[in-house]
Structure 1
Amino acid sequence: MLSTGRAVTSPACAAQRRFMGAAPRTVVFLAGDHGKRAAASVAARAAGPSHPGVCLEAAAPWSMEDVAAPVTVSYEESVRQVVLKQAALAASTTPRKARLSRRDAGVLDEAFDRCGAVCKEYAKTFYLATQLMTPERRRAIWAIYVWCRRTDELVDGPNAAHTSALALDRWESRLDGVFAGRPYDMLDAALADAVAAFPAVDERPFRDMVQGMRMDLAKSRYATFDELYLYCYRVAGTVGLMTVPVMGVSPGSQAGVETVYAGALALGVANQLTNILRDVGEDARRGRIYLPQDELATAGISEADIFAGRVTVEWRSFMKGQIARARAYFQQAEQGAAELNQESRWPVWASLLLYRQILDEIEANGYDNFSKRAYVPKAKKLAALPKAYLRSLMPPPSSQRRR
């Protein structure tokens, strides 16, 4: 039986929710104390010990009135359940799928070379950092990157104006062929071989990313951070869930697999929040506002202010809170990155450190992300690579704690 518990909100949790902009939600518990502990355990496992948006507390005594109350689950909680399922799939013994025939080896080599070339052109530092990975892992990461880029181009590329819901339906249907070993074209063939080589790579994150593209076609406003979180998961957090099975967890890690998955999700969310904060002016010129409407209203900022590009005291204060939230997700992402296979850590640390610098540049621009684009100079990008490499050499923190 399900019941709803009235959350006992401590000052610390209340402050966290105000800071995070979390939407009010109904907490779902299984009846009885055991069920409450089980529900809290599931949420904690999915989020990790320091998830920036979670606050687990005791529930107040409940009555039969609570049983009849409507049960709602936040988008954030729904995403956590996806993370748990993906982690469970990775932890299970999954047989390798049939690879494409050897007669296709030449075509596959060319396909992976093309994927590598695309990655090198559009994500130079990330491409460089993949060079430490084994050839099979590296090629699979390139193939996933290219599929994600092609998907994003449907709604954000030069032909985006011609993309319809039907076009996204057709694109998504091609995933059936990819995961069944019947690719549509050469680049799909690279992805098909990658998912066959790493069977824990699941279809769900790929389909969820397409859903994110559907949101871009249909939505230009987000009422709450919870809505925005779902968007960030779909268009960016999914990338982490796609790639963790390829990158692998360090043999010396004592952390749960779900910790690594939660960290990968957090990095995707952090990167997307950073993109949003960097591109406020650009998005406004397209009639889009990817900022929580309720938080803007609380800060006293109107849509007219955003479209006019007004950098006011209220805007600077608002941006400080948004940047702090993005940094909190980057902080959680570090926990997952540190537990990956050593050969796979460098590109992840490079992405984390480079994207986090964009937030520094927004601050350096006086929070004017209307007329100034936060750009990290090439020298700073290059300086981040050795830092990322040194971080990648450090043993997993969990292996040190258990000694």
Structure 2
Amino acid sequence: MSAVALLRVLVTTPAATTADTTKSIFVSNTAAAPLPLLIRNSSSSNCRLLIKGKRISRCTINNAAAGEVLVGIESPSSSSLQPTSSPEQKVYNVVLKQAALVQKKQSTTTTSTEDLDMPIPGTLTLLNEAYDRCREVCAEYAKTFYLGTLLMTQERRKAIWAIYVWCRRTDELVDGPNASHITPMALDRWESRLEDLFQGRPYDMLDAALSDTVGKFPVDIQPFKDMIEGMRLDLKKSRYKNFDELYLYCYYVAGTVGLMSVPVMGIAPESQATTESVYNAALSLGIANQLTNILRDVGEDARRGRVYLPQDELAQAGLSDEDIFAGKVTDKWRNFMKNQIKRARMFFDEAEKGVTQLSSASRWPVRTRIVYTYTDSK
């Protein structure tokens, strides 16, 4: 029989009203510092527990003093110690990889000017034109965010514009005017172009801006590849059976943006937070934004035959796809949506914790994004 550890848990968010709500809590004991956890199905006696991204096989919640619960954590058996392929673990691995890349960059000494390649005559002019075009696209399609980027240093805002434009072009592949002609093979070619630009071989002017950016900042290619994977999902999948599936989709198409951006925005020198926690906050902002987009666009998506809502939660609420397609607004629907909105706000709350850890010049565009989207969801 496996050992069971009894830990005192301080609940940092209000009690869940539905079984599917995720709560952030902290566990502490006499021997260890607080560890961040995620509990799902926390209103029931059994739950799934994550400790720093690692799934614990089972835990039991017992009532205790107000604001606290006692959690009995069953140590996983040897077979459960094998790497898990859960959505949370998959995303967590990407976070760790990007955080390690940034830490490695910070620990290396500054390269001397003698080691830098001399630019080919004329390339600086072309690069400036490329970045200027990225600026124009960002200003046209993301006005509020663009104004925030103007408070960044010149190099950082140019890099953010380049990342924004690549993400927009990627999204347009499946949501733009030519979306009906896009095939999995086209996305494969787009991914090959991505690999080339990371190797310093851009295909066009806009690629050149991103290629220059990833050469200057410790940006990993994996979040970019994962965003393309999200586009592949849009080509073949129009339903998500539970929040685990939806969470992974939200990471692919939006959470990745946070992981791309933090290396450029930078972490404040005075920050006491771990690099990993800052990336988790950036990830939460992307998830929150995408969940908000999904809730805002239910009708539009339904007209395209898509339902980006957890099927099991719809069923638990007594709803179905047919109700969505019919546009029925009932008390069941209102209650269901309230719980979905509550979940999105939880991710916004997690994201806001990381804003103050960013470099001071980068906080404003992120905060405006949180305030603008969060307020719009109320």
| Structure 1 partner of 2:58 | none
Instruction: Name the CA distance, whole Å, in 1 between partners of 2:219 and 2:208.
Output: 15
| Structure 2 partner of 1:59 | 73
Instruction: Name the CA distance, whole Å, in 1 between partners of 2:206 and 2:288.
Output: 28
Aligned-pair RMSD on alpha carbons? 3.3
Structure 1 counterpart of 2:176, one-letter code: G
Say whether 1:78 aligns with 2:90: yes
Alignment counterpart, residue 344 of structure 1, candidates 337, 343, 362: 362
User: Which structure has more RCO (C-alpha within 8 Å, separation ≥ 6)?
Assistant: 1
| Structure 1 partner of 2:243 | 225
| Structure 2 partner of 1:294 | 312
| Structure 1 partner of 2:266 | 248
| Distance of aligned partners of 1:350 and 1:317 in 2 relative to their CA distance in 1, 3 Å threshold | same
1:337-379 Cα distance to aligned partner (Å, 9 max, x none): 111001001100011111112211xxxxxxxxxxxxxxxxxxx
| Distance of aligned partners of 1:205 and 1:100 in 2 relative to their CA distance in 1, 3 Å threshold | farther
User: Higher mean Cα deviation, 103-112 or 264-273?
Assistant: 103-112
1:245-270 Cα distance to aligned partner (Å, 9 max, x none): 00000111111111110010000000
Say whether 1:195 aligns with 2:207: no
Contact 1:100 1:181 (8 Å CA) reproduced: no
Structure 2 counterpart of 1:178, one-letter code: L
Alignment counterpart, residue 137 of structure 1, candidates 143, 156, 159: 156
Contact 1:46 1:259 (8 Å CA) reproduced: no
Q: Report the CA distance between 1:59 and its aligned residue.
A: 2.2
Contact 1:100 1:193 (8 Å CA) reproduced: no
> TM-score, normalization: structure 1?
0.76
Aligned pairs (5 A) from 1:5-154: 16=16, 18-21=18-21, 44-45=51-52, 58-60=72-74, 66-68=77-79, 72-93=84-105, 101-154=120-173
Q: Report the CA distance between 1:101 and its aligned residue.
A: 3.6
| Structure 1 partner of 2:291 | 273
Say whether 1:168 aligns with 2:183: no
Q: Report the CA distance between 1:103 and its aligned residue.
A: 3.0
Contact 2:36 2:52 (8 Å CA) reproduced: no
Structure having the higher strand fraction is 2
1:61-114 Cα distance to aligned partner (Å, 9 max, x none): 66xxx4456965420222122112211211113767968645301100100000
Say whether 1:358 aligns with 2:376: yes
| Distance of aligned partners of 1:308 and 1:110 in 2 relative to their CA distance in 1, 3 Å threshold | same
Structure having the higher helix fraction is 1
User: Higher mean Cα deviation, 94-103 or 297-306?
Assistant: 94-103
Instruction: Name the CA distance, whole Å, in 2 between partners of 1:99 and 1:357.
Output: 48
Instruction: Name the CA distance, whole Å, in 2 between partners of 1:311 and 1:99.
Output: 63
Q: How many residues align?
A: 334
Instruction: Name the CA distance, whole Å, in 2 between partners of 1:212 and 1:236.
Output: 9
Structure 2 counterpart of 1:80, one-letter code: Y
Structure 2 counterpart of 1:310, one-letter code: K
Say whether 1:180 aligns with 2:237: no
> TM-score, normalization: structure 2?
0.80
Structure 2 counterpart of 1:136, one-letter code: E
SS in structure 2 of the partner of residue 132 of structure 1: coil
Unmatched 5+ residue regions in structure 1? 23-33, 48-54, 361-403
| Distance of aligned partners of 1:98 and 1:287 in 2 relative to their CA distance in 1, 3 Å threshold | farther
Aligned pairs (5 A) from 1:288-327: 288-327=306-345
Instruction: Name the CA distance, whole Å, in 1 between partners of 2:167 and 2:360.
Output: 24
Q: Report the CA distance between 1:276 and its aligned residue.
A: 0.0
1:293-312 Cα distance to aligned partner (Å, 9 max, x none): 00000000011101001111
Instruction: Name the CA distance, whole Å, in 2 between partners of 1:102 and 1:57.
Output: 65
Instruction: Name the CA distance, whole Å, in 2 between partners of 1:188 and 1:129.
Output: 23
Contact 2:198 2:211 (8 Å CA) reproduced: yes
Unmatched 5+ residue regions in structure 2? 23-30, 39-49, 55-68
| Distance of aligned partners of 1:39 and 1:319 in 2 relative to their CA distance in 1, 3 Å threshold | closer
| Distance of aligned partners of 1:165 and 1:6 in 2 relative to their CA distance in 1, 3 Å threshold | farther
Q: Percent of pairs identical after alignment?
A: 57
SS in structure 2 of the partner of residue 223 of structure 1: coil
Instruction: Name the CA distance, whole Å, in 1 between partners of 2:89 and 2:313.
Output: 20
| Distance of aligned partners of 1:139 and 1:355 in 2 relative to their CA distance in 1, 3 Å threshold | same
| Structure 1 partner of 2:347 | 329
| Structure 2 partner of 1:213 | 231
Instruction: Name the CA distance, whole Å, in 1 between partners of 2:364 and 2:264.
Output: 14
Instruction: Name the CA distance, whole Å, in 1 between partners of 2:17 and 2:79.
Output: 26
| Distance of aligned partners of 1:107 and 1:254 in 2 relative to their CA distance in 1, 3 Å threshold | same
Instruction: Name the CA distance, whole Å, in 2 between partners of 1:187 and 1:5.
Output: 56
